[in-house]
């Protein structure tokens, strides 16, 4: 019998498995097999996104495992994300229905705004203009959020949240929200602990998912000589102490911090190895030692410096944004 994955109870009352399979950078032709293998191993949380361009294959694997009787739909926790070209409130429902169709399901467990910035609608995911700049959307993510709330009311999505939002942006969402975000998904690993943002989310009852917990070593923009988290000798020392691999230590480190964690792999052996972290916990002294590796080392940064004409404050925090107002009686209390 597969080991039992611990859960985090979301502020919506639903349980989210703390260990899931990430599908970012999983290539077509590989991701379907990876999801099948992950479900066989015991994963019940699959993290997806429209941007990853592989949700149909993920859906094929899910259907196969349901048809085989390995799992039921209700056994799975499926997350997806609204991409930046769908920030127009009129496009939000169509976007989630496309994801649901590709995944072959009639509801999502969790749907996130992928980034706090919008691009012009169209088939180009990056909405590039002829001059190379991004064609920015005119829509504010707080308006997008209100359309996300409508998905919950229609029963299409059980919980909603955000991804890659900073404190200021989260506050802006809370300023208009009638449904509090259930989740914040951000890059977290020992080089980027994000402790202050995580603590702030927890103070609001918002759970946190750590993406790139292994430092995203296969990121296509990595440059020679850049730090490699999994080669860090200090982490190797901790791994040797527990007779585990460095990836296993990194995944356990996130779980022991109370985070949901979504390591990505398409290799059956590594998928199983990443799941084999449920039989131990890190001692406090080792947690403290790993925490000292913090160096604000961000591996994943959308960082589009061409997005000068967008009034979100993700990369330009000095831009002043007018708060949208809703009646006090409808506003979420912090």
Q: Catalytic residues, which ones?
A: 52
Provide the token pair at 255. Answer: 């779980």
- CA separation for the pair 253, 169 (Å, rounded): 27
Return the bridge partners of 134, or none: 128
CA torsion angle for 91, 98, 17, 46 (degrees, to 10)? -130
Q: Which residues fall within 8 angstroms of residue 84, CB to CB, at 6 or more apart?
A: 114, 115, 117, 118, 119, 125, 127, 137
User: What is the SS3 string spanning 27-66?
Assistant: CCCCHHHHHHHHHHHCCCEEECCHHHCCHHHHHHHHHHHH
Distance CA 115, CA 161 (A): 11
The token pair at 90 is: 């009129």
User: What's 2's DSSP letter?
Assistant: P
Q: How far is Cα 201 from Cα 188, in angstroms, rounded to an integer? A: 14
Around Cβ 333, how many Cβ atoms within 10 Å?
7
Helix H or strand E encompassing 253: helix 246-256
Contact 96, 151 (CB under 8 A): yes
Output DSSP code: residue 68.
T
The tokens describing 256, both together, are 């022991």
């Amino acid at each position: 019998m597969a080991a039992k994955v611990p859960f985090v109870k979301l502020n919506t009352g639903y349980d989210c498995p703390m260990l899931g399979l990430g599908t970012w950078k999983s290539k077509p032709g590989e991701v379907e097999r990876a999801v099948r293998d992950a479900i066989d191993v015991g994963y019940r949380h699959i993290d997806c996104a429209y941007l990853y361009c592989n949700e149909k294959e993920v859906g094929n694997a899910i259907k196969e495992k349901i048809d085989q009787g390995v799992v039921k739909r209700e056994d799975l926790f499926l997350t997806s994300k609204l991409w930046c070209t769908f920030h127009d409130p009129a496009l939000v429902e169509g976007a989630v229905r496309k994801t649901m169709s590709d995944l072959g399901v009639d509801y999502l467990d969790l749907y996130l705004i992928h980034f706090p910035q919008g691009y012009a609608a169209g088939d180009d995911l990056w909405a590039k203009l002829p001059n190379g700049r991004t064609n920015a959307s005119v829509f504010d993510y707080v308006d997008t959020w209100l359309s996300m709330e409508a998905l919950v009311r229609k029963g299409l999505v059980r919980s909603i949240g955000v991804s890659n939002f900073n404190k200021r942006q989260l506050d802006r969402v809370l300023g208009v929200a009638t449904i509090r975000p259930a989740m914040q998904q951000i890059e977290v690993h020992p080089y980027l602990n994000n402790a202050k943002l995580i603590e702030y989310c927890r103070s609001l009852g918002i759970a946190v998912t750590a993406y790139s917990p292994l430092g995203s070593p296969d990121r296509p923009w990595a440059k020679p000589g850049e730090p490699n988290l999994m080669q860090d000798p200090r982490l190797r020392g901790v791994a040797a102490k527990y007779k585990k691999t460095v990836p296993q230590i990194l995944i356990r480190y996130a779980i022991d911090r109370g985070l949901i964690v979504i390591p990505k792999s398409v290799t059956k052996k590594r998928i199983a190895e990443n799941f084999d972290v449920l039989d131990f916990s890190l001692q406090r002294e080792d947690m403290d030692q790993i925490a000292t590796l913090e160096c604000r080392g961000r591996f994943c940064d959308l960082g589009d410096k061409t997005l000068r004409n967008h009034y979100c404050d993700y990369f330009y925090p000095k831009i002043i944004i007018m708060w949208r107002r809703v009646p006090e009686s409808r506003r979420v209390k912090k």
